[in-house]
Every structure is written in C-alpha cells, then in structure tokens.
Amino acid sequence: MAQDRLSELEALTSDASLWDDPDKALKLTGEKNRLTADLNNFTEIENNFNDLRELAQLAEADGDEKSLDDVYIQLQELQQKVKHSELEALLCGEADGLDAFLEVHSGSGGTEAQDWAEMLLRMYSRWAEAHKYKVEYIEETPGDVAGLKSATIKIIGHNAYGWLKSESGVHRLVRISPFDSNARRHTSFASVGVYPVIDDTINIEINEADCRVDTYRASGAGGQHINKTDSAVRITHIPTGIVVQCQNDRSQFKNRDSAWKMLKARLYELEIKKREQKAEAMRESQGDNGWGYQIRSYVMQPYKMVKDLRTSAETSDVKAVLDGDIDLFLSAALADKLDVAEGN
C-alpha cells in the first residue's frame, strides 16, 4: 500500500500545475519525501538482514566462530534499528512530523534550579545532535550566578516534535549541590515544554489585538548563542497567558517574525492537546505542564537512578542520560501511548 501511495504521489507531484496551489504542493511533496525515506529505510533493513543471514550460513559451514560472533553483534544492532522504526511508525499524529520548539524554565531554588535547567538544555541538544537534527538557539536568559532561568531552542528534522512531545512536564533532580559549601543534598525542579513548528500548510489565525508586543535589550554572556542588542521581542497572548520571546538575531524584524511563529506553535499545540484529550480520553500523559506534574526524576545521591514516573522506564546510568541518551524514555512513552490506544 505504501508503494502504491508513493506512485500516486509521484504522479501528482510531477504535474506542473500543482504549484498553482503552493500549500497543496508543499503538503504533497512533504508526504512524498517522508514516504520515500520510510521505504528506503525498510529496504535497507531488509537487505542488511539478508546479507547477515548469508554471512551466518557461510560462517556456520566453515565453522568460523569469530565471524558468527560478528554477525550476532550486527544482528543485535539491526534489531535495535527495527525497534526504532516500529516506534517511529507510531508518529502519525497531525503534527508529529514537524520540527519542534523546546523550552526549558528553571523552578524555584535560585542557582541550583537554574543550573539544572542548563543541564536539561544540554541533554536535549546532545540528543538532537546524536540523531542528526539541527539545533538553533532562539532565546537564553542566564541565571543570576550560573545556569539559565529560561531558554528556547528549535530542533529541526523529520519527526522532531513526534519524538520529543512526551518530554513536556516537570523534571526533578536530586544531587549533592556543587553550590553548597556544606555539601548537602538538594532537590531542584525545571519545566520543559515542547511545541510543533508550524509549517506553511497549517493556518493559525491570531488576533493581534489580543497580543501585547514588548521590545527589550537582549541579555546574556555573549558567545555563539546570544547577541547583545536592543532588538529582543516578547509577545504575550492575553487570552491564554502564553508568553514567547526571541533575541537570537540582531534584527528586531527577524526576532519579531520568529516570536510570532513561536506563538502560533504554542497555540496550535494547545489545540492539538485539547483534541487528543477529547477524542482519546487518555490520561494526561502529555497534557499538563504545571509545576505539580512531575514526569521524571533524576537521582544522583544517595543512589543513581533516572525513572520516568509515567511509564516506569528507568536506568542507573545517569551520566549517559544527561549526555543525551534518552531514547529509552522516548520509546517507552510511544509504546505506552500504543498500549493505551489498544486498551491494554
């Protein structure tokens, strides 16, 4: 069926008149590109499996134990790729294939919480880079002593939002504080919000009369992620209380344009969640980003453990998780969603 749909899309996109309707053209070409990538991935997995099967048969006939061990290792790697592809097939929601805005906000607790917010931002940036996604820094508000009060990044790549949408919520850290001269254990909180980057095929109307636009001087320590200018823009959507801000460009016009796009993304994501909760009657696994809704605990003292409070997925390798190895939790969230949908 997928091949039939691809043939249909190839015929549609080869029609020169298609671009008379740019919105339709973008939608169809995007679907064609994604389907082509999926089919190529399937073919690659199938070919790799057939090659490994032949190698195993030859090694077994020759009594070559070392080659058999090598084939076994490659089969395990291929199995992980198959599992990843199976889960990615679940990313069929209306916005799952889009890029993502990811925001991090420190909770109460001053420097300790602000340092934790920066650690989370690094974790997601490392995850994105490991999966060949592009990361753009939109806004950073530095902490008073260290870390970040807030930050926003844009993660660019197919299915970025689909993979990361389950990360919205409150993340809790327990550790011996590096900022406490008495080396006491501290608990810190930071919230994460993930929103789809709206493309040109999705129309979100915003009444500008419902918004307050403020400009201010960009702040930060300098460097590659921040420009000190007088062109930072903050937009407040009064009916919902949503606030977005952008300061990564020297041009106020570019920052203003980015901020409007971020606001559209937030409003669109809010509407998607309302629809999902009404249609699926699911438990609020992704819907509440409030401070009372903790989704994951990261414990470094008195023991080492990262545990997701929704799926019960856990690992003792805290260092790997903070270095961006969060696929265990993203996969568990997708699998849990499938179980809920099937009524298991």
Cα(21)–Cα(201) distance, integer angstroms: 11
Per DSSP, the three-state class of 155 is: strand
Count Cα neighbours of 334 within 13 Å in the Cβ-side half-sphere.
Answer: 24
Full pLDDT tens readout for the chain, 344 residues: 667 888 888 888 888 888 888 777 877 887 788 778 778 888 899 999 999 999 999 988 888 889 889 999 999 989 888 877 777 777 877 788 889 999 999 998 789 999 999 999 999 999 999 999 999 999 899 998 899 999 999 999 888 999 999 999 999 999 998 888 787 888 999 999 999 887 655 667 788 899 999 988 776 544 444 445 567 899 999 999 999 999 888 888 889 888 988 898 888 888 777 765 654 443 344 333 334 578 999 999 899 999 999 999 999 999 999 999 999 999 999 887 655 445 55
For residue 290, give both structure tokens.
């409030």
Distance of CA 19 to the CA centre of its chain: 31
**Residue 149 phi, psi dihedral angles, 5° rounding:** -75, -40
**pTM to 2 decimals?**
0.69
Domains of the chain: 2-88 (1.20.58.410), 100-342 (3.30.70.1660)
Pairing of strands 169-176, 148-156: unpaired
Pairing of strands 211-216, 314-315: unpaired
For residue 206, give both structure tokens.
């915003």
Closest CA to 180 of 146, 149, 150: 146
